[in-house]
Amino acid sequence: MTITKRKTLAGSFALTALLMMGVVVHLANRPAVATEGRERIAPQPPVAQMKAAEDLSAVFQYVAETVKPSVVNITSVKTIKPMMRGGQEMPDEIPFPEFFERFLRPDTPRGGFKQQGFGAGVIVSEDGHILTNNHVVADADEVTVTLTDKREYKAKIIGTDPKTDLAVVKIKADNLTPAKLGDSDQVRVGEWVVAVGHPFGLSYTITTGIVSAKGRANRAVAEYEDFIQTDAAINPGNSGGPLVNLKGEVIGINTAIFSRSGGYMGIGFAIPSNMAKSIMQSLMDHGKVVRGWLGVGIQNLDEAMAESFGFEGTNGVLVGDVTPDGPAEKAGFKQGDIIVKFDGKQTKDSNQLRQMVAATSPGTKVEVEVFREGRRETLDVTIGELESGLATIKGHEAEDEDLGMTLKSVTPEIAEQLGLKQAKGVVVTKVEPFSAAARAGLRRGDVIVAVQSKPVDTLAEFNEALSRHDLKKGVRLTVFTEGMRRFVMLKNASSDE
């Protein structure tokens, strides 16, 4: 099919909805034919509508034929070692096997067992690189790739990235057909897409649907999420397969489904192709993903939090903490700054900012616009590299019944347990469900270090500072959580009507 023909089909498809509506009018105006004392409608073919439907069908056929040579079936095998009671792995060499046998889990064979996984992938280069999901090949001892022409190859894992659930594997084969990766930034909600994979072990299968939404995050699938949501049927076995537009371009990698039954329920998620391209290239070049690092703890704004800083609207990202000696601190960032632009682009929420920072090459100098104490400032920051192992640091007691939490002054012993540098602030030891504290997002182990920017070192200071504010309007707390600071708006339960 030529490009010109595809454009013609696309034009016909754009009128499909109106034409199909015309069927109803056409049927209503058909001549009636008498038969045995009653009327019936004489069947007449709706030629224009049938042509539009055939054109649409031809488009889907074109997509299926275009991507088929590029989609592969991936089978992975990994060994699950036997476990002793208490969760420890059985050692490879057992000096007294009869003794250790008693401590094996009853349902675990002494030699362990093989676990097999199934998924899909898409060929992205003529020399055999294949893009898939991390969870399809993670920790695999053996990966086998089967092409649609039935050729089978052992694959080498080039690199994996659990933070985005992407992976690249490679096979040595000739006459491969790489797929074309499209521009996922151009994807529009409502456009037709085709999901491809091997659901439930069935060979090459396509399903169709539309793009239901973009920018989906916080799905607890990966650390970096910016999913395309689709209602094209995605089932177990589709993972790692492509989500394709009507031009036959890959605009996403199928990754997850929302399901209460384990099967398709109308909501699927795909990693955008632009994110996949960046991760794939880094894995192919370095065997790992190189990400930018700003060195701040960030959180989203709501109306109450924004108002407490004198900021209009909620399109911005609040800096809850600044990492010592990190890029942000060296550039002059402060706790309480609201980031409104990063490298000239508006920042709507923390997830978007994290994606932009991660996609920035370490060493790049970037202008960041912040709102601070009623005015806007521009800071120049040199982006650092996020280390793969970088992680956060994982007396008298009183209970406030109105707020629904129990507090205790931080002692040296508590400070040591929580990894605090100083014994200052008040620690939350208990939070009542559905209380004001719970609604604010306070959790057991949080350490409150300031009330409306006023530092508090003890429980007495906390109570005194709290008494100066109207809890019905809300008060801003600075909270230390697992090594990072964040802000919390606390409102008295009685303020909610």
- Write the DSSP symbol of residue 338: E
Catalytic residue check, 165: yes
CATH 2.30.42.10 fits 397-495, yes or no: yes
* Residue among 55, 165, 321, 446 flagged as catalytic: 165
Query: 69-288 has which CATH code?
Result: 2.40.10.120
Written as six digits, the tokens of 68 are: 């088929």
* Residue among 70, 184, 212, 239 flagged as catalytic: 239
> Which residues of the chain does CATH 2.30.42.10 include?
292-385, 397-495
Which residues, including other chains, have CB under 8 Å from residue 123's CB and lie 6 or more apart? 69, 70, 71, 72, 129, 130, 176, 177, 178, 179
Which residues, including other chains, have CB under 8 Å from residue 150's CB and lie 6 or more apart? none
The tens-digit pLDDT sequence of the chain (497 residues) is 333 343 344 444 444 444 444 444 444 445 555 555 566 677 777 888 888 888 889 999 999 999 999 999 999 998 766 655 444 555 555 454 554 444 444 455 555 667 777 899 999 999 999 999 999 998 889 999 999 999 999 999 999 999 899 999 999 999 999 999 999 999 999 999 999 998 887 889 999 999 999 988 766 666 778 899 999 988 888 899 999 999 999 999 999 877 666 666 778 999 999 999 999 998 998 888 888 999 888 888 989 899 999 999 999 999 988 888 889 999 999 999 999 999 999 998 888 898 899 889 899 999 999 999 999 999 999 999 887 533 222 234 455 556 888 888 887 777 777 777 777 888 888 888 778 888 888 888 889 989 988 899 888 788 888 888 888 888 899 998 877 888 988 887 554 43
* Residue among 55, 135, 321, 446 flagged as catalytic: 135
* Rounded-to-integer distance, Cα 216 and Cα 226, Å: 5
Residue 100: what pLDDT? 46
Longest Cα–Cα distance of the chain, Å, equals 98
Nearest to 122 by CA among 272, 18, 202, 241: 241
- Write the DSSP symbol of residue 43: P
> Which residues of the chain does CATH 2.40.10.120 include?
69-288
Written as six digits, the tokens of 64 are: 């299926």
Residue 408: what pLDDT? 83
Residue 81: what pLDDT? 64
Residue 471: what pLDDT? 82
Query: 292-385 has which CATH code?
Result: 2.30.42.10
Residue 82: what pLDDT? 60
Nearest to 443 by CA among 480, 390, 496: 480
